[in-house]
Structure 1
Amino acid sequence: MKNLLLQNISKHVSLTSEEEDIIFNAFEKASFKAKTIVIKPGDEAHFTYFVLKGILRSYTIDDNGTIHILSFATPGWWVADMYSYLTGKPAVLYVDVMEDCDVLILQRCDAERLFTEVPKLERFFRILTENNLIANQQRILDKMALTAEERYEKFLQKYPDIINCLPQKYIASFIGVTPEFFSKMKSNLLRKK
């Protein structure tokens, strides 16, 4: 548990053992069962989750009841409603548990304290935020320029470990197509191989 978090951080910054202890002690561990909604629109989401085990997803639901999945979070990934986390305003996203999970939770106020105590952590989160911004921009560009098949191929590259754990309708939502279209597309891809 501690190792996975510290491995994640050490991809971007080097920490002393004292800094590692300070950081790790700021997190709370929690476990959630599948189908638990951990954030919903209107909540005050002043925390972020680091996934140790399981799968979470972030999404929104439009006025027609259609789910639009923004991301999946698997072990070693972070998930939050960043709008609420950074602004202190009510959440706009849902974050729910797709597969029983263990997470580490970091409160925003604890993160702020850590930025002072371990300045390297602020750099780490800046890098994560920049990477997230780049990934979101690329996803928007992909949606405008790539075919559904190409977006599916990118999904397979990004989430190779969970492809068999997810219902097809969630993959369809992530790549921006209906479940029916996705099913036909997948059949056509299998025939081509």
Structure 2
Amino acid sequence: MFRKLVSLALPAVALGLAGCGTDMMEQEPTAQAAEPVATQGQALTSVVLNKPYLPFFVPPLRSGDAEFGGNGPDMDIDFEMELRNNNTELWVGMAIWAREVGGDTYAQGDVWYKVFTAPSPIQSITPVGVKPEGPEFHFGYRDYGHATDTFQFPQTIPASRLVWQLSCVGDTDDKEAGSRTGCSAILHDMTITY
């Protein structure tokens, strides 16, 4: 039935176009000026931060003799985002806990890094929005050697991970808590809209 309708319609269309004098495929498109409509979305700007880097941070010694001595440590790292100064600045905090397994050596502290300043209040951040409570990213592990430990966290779909790579030093061959134990991080690309 469909083939019959098409075969009847094509000759009628061809007859109607035969007297036009120009081929419809070769015509230049005509530009129509649309009247601009202002919306709130048009006033927003988005910026992509490519893999922001958070420098190595060593939390201070809180207790013990500063020597993990091959007993871990158990490492816990949290990352939080915060908007400051009338929501025009994006800050990322890194908190580190390093606890000796079966001992009393303990290092703990946090540091905040300003990663972006916008000319107007920030409206959204992806892949992760600022959560009202709790960390945007947490990772924990037990250190089993003296080498630098590096972990990568591929982005999820939809994008929800803040941290792309984490590099940490736990135990070393000497006293390290408060002097060498710590972490650095590289964040995933972030899109900030303001």
- Superposition TM-score, scaled by structure 2 size: 0.26
The structure showing larger relative contact order (alpha-carbon pairs under 8 Å, at least 6 residues apart) is 2
Kindly name which structure, 1 or 2, has the bigger radius of gyration based on alpha carbons: 2
- Identify, as 1 or 2, the structure richer in helix: 1
- Superposition TM-score, scaled by structure 1 size: 0.27
- Identify, as 1 or 2, the structure richer in strand: 2
